[in-house]
Structure 1
Amino acid sequence: MVSGGWTCGALAGVVGVDPKTVERWVNLGRTPRRGVALKAAEALGEDVHELWPALRQSRAARAVSPELVALYEQRADVPVSVFAELVAQAHRQVDLLVYAAVYLHEAYPRFNELLRERAAAGCSVRIAVGDPDSACVQARGVEERFGHGIESRCRLALMHYRPLLATPGFELRTHGTTLYNSIYRVDDHMLVNAHVWGVNAYRAPVWHLRREGPGGLFDTYADSFARAWDTAQAVEE
């Protein structure tokens, strides 16, 4: 039983979490994420900081963003199943901003089929890959000591996605932006592959974000995707 006569199941339903999560708050003293904590405190009619003192620190003082789900030291540490499972559960949108990321098709041969299924279910699927002839892509090859390899991988990525061009809800574009981060978004989840000068993307870190509300770290990257998408050129059938 939670304070105020609430059961764990009832409170879980109000704030949108699993009842076992609420049980961990009550029995193990766990502190929920700030957005969830605020909803729970409002439902209980309590002060959120009295319920969970650990949340007293200011947003500016917090060492870790509440939107951070996981941090991987390098992309190679992220199982492909993590992204594939997110895509399989997509309800609204799937957005990719990459130069190539052909590892998705190499490690998950059903990736195109999965995207086609989500588009058929009403999801918007937007894929932006690097323009192999752009100066930025060619510069990245030099910086990573990969030469023309990055350009060829961009062309290979286009070959992978072209069979989807006739799929309603699917859009494919090429971009020539300086790619500071590769962005993999599925609804309110996002994997951000931060690029490091001179380092191949598979060796650079990745953070998994989950959107908590407007104006957070998630929205910073979502806005970046939108700006890059607006500069990209549509690939026609």
Structure 2
Amino acid sequence: MLFITLEGIDGSGKTTISKLLKEKLRSEEYQVVLTREPGGNEISEQIRNIILSKHNLGMDNWTEALLYIAARRQHVVEDILPALKEGVIVICDRFMDSTSAYQGYARGLGIRTLNEVQSIVLGTTKPDLTLFFDIEPTTANERMKVRNEGEMNRFDLENNLFHEKVYKGYQVLISENTDRIKVVDARKTVNEVLEQVYYYVEEIIQKIKDKANG
């Protein structure tokens, strides 16, 4: 029925909101699946472990990007498409825009290049609505400091410049996809952020209903 993705730099709060959004939609009697990337199923989760492991600091940038896309392909085929075909609302914590921002822009592989690769691999499976959780990298970094060492992954070890580049990469994507990507002020309280998110979700659900009714 509806494919929603949540994007943003680490520490933006999107994971917390994704769970609240799922519960709110279910309270409105919608069928909802919440998933994440990289991951979502057994094969993709194994790829996730390889990508995020602190033991793999020497990973090549293209290897990293292609692993993300491979995990995404498996996720789409095994989980996302079947759910959408059953009329379920799918909420995914990260999707194709993460690869474009992190590997395309911050790693320097090129946003357009990775967009082309993902289009070939994923076909027409793209989000109906993407919510970007907007927060300055310095503020997000402060939030991330509460993580203990065991929770940290390879990307948590990147310097501030890398995370600033990721943020800039997202700004490029937003400017090129204004119809699909909506900006949410992630600096606000959890309830205020959820209110912003639900406004955009309700809006697109109504559009889908209006289209269905002709």
Structure holding more helix per residue: 2
TM bucket (normalised to shorter chain) is: 0.3 to 0.5
Q: Relative contact order, CA 8 A, sep 6+: which one is greater?
A: 2
- TM-score calculated relative to the size of structure 2: 0.35
* More strand, by proportion: 1
